[in-house]
Chains A and B, each alone.
Chain A
Amino acid sequence: GQNIDQPTEMTATEGAIVQINCTYQTSGFNGLFWYQQHAGEAPTFLSYNVLDGLEEKGRFSSFLSRSKGYSYLLLKELQMKDSASYLCAVRRNYGGATNKLIFGTGTLLAVQP
């Protein structure tokens, strides 16, 4: 089977740091993505991890531990515009060139003044 878990909601303060966790259980793991989605809009790509470790991109960083089935997205210097849903998605390989993305339910982040 396959399962992706992330918190439903989180609240943080403008200027602070927040960490959004994602745990997964799947066979054929072939990478993990984080997307940001504002309400009623398209998800936009934030980060991609396929090897263990931390990937940093400006205010956003993403970490992966394949042995633990765990990832987190770290947002620094929070801004009001960071209020959005954050989607964790695991790419699963089904053999050969067939890959599919499995999405978590998303974490709704509210940034408060």
Chain B
Amino acid sequence: DGGITQSPKYLFRKEGQNVTLSCEQNLNHDAMYWYRQDPGQGLRLIYYSQIVNDFQKGDIAEGYSVSREKKESFPLTVTSAQKNPTAFYLCASRQPGQGNEKLFFGSGTQLSVL
């Protein structure tokens, strides 16, 4: 079955540590996205990629980095510069130009600070 997979489900970060969240999709989608979800706030866009080897900053990119070396993979690194990293992180993908272009989401990674 096609889908989008995030790992790990839970992740803990120590002070000053970089951590990487994995996102893999086998839907053959060109576009991929990273969102952050905090209680009482809507999903906020961190980074997005419309095509392989290209990505753009979203609304809250500071303290994060991404890469898009393969179509199916879009890992997110939370760097030590992100001072408030505790949140639920959601990866999504879509295929531009197909119907309503709805987003398909992964099941999320809960990141907490030790």
Contacts and interface: CB of A to CB of B under 8 A. Distances in A.
B90 A42 contact: yes
A40 B100 contact: no
B100 A43 contact: no
Contacts of B64: none
A36 B4 CA distance: 17
A43 B108 CA distance: 9
Contacts of B4: 42
A44 B101 CA distance: 13
A50 B105 CA distance: 21
Nearest to B58: A100
A31 B103 CA distance: 13
Given A41-B108, A42-B90, A42-B108, A48 B100 contact: yes
A105 B44 CA distance: 10
Interface in B64-104: 88, 90, 96, 100-104
A87 interface: yes
A interface, over-half SS? strand
Given A4-B42, A43-B90, A87-B42, A101 B103 contact: yes
Interface residues of A, number: 25
A50 B45 CA distance: 22
A36 to B, nearest CB: 11
Contacts of A103: 35, 42-44
B41 interface: yes
A104 B110 contact: no
Contacts of A44: 105
B102 A41 contact: no
Given A31-B100, A33-B102, A48-B102, A42 B107 contact: yes
B40 interface: yes
23 contacts: A4-B42, A40-B108, A41-B108, A42-B90, A42-B105, A42-B107, A42-B108, A43-B43, A43-B90, A43-B103, A43-B105, A44-B105, A45-B102, A45-B104, A48-B102, A87-B43, A91-B101, A99-B101, A101-B43, A103-B43, A105-B40, A105-B41, A106-B42
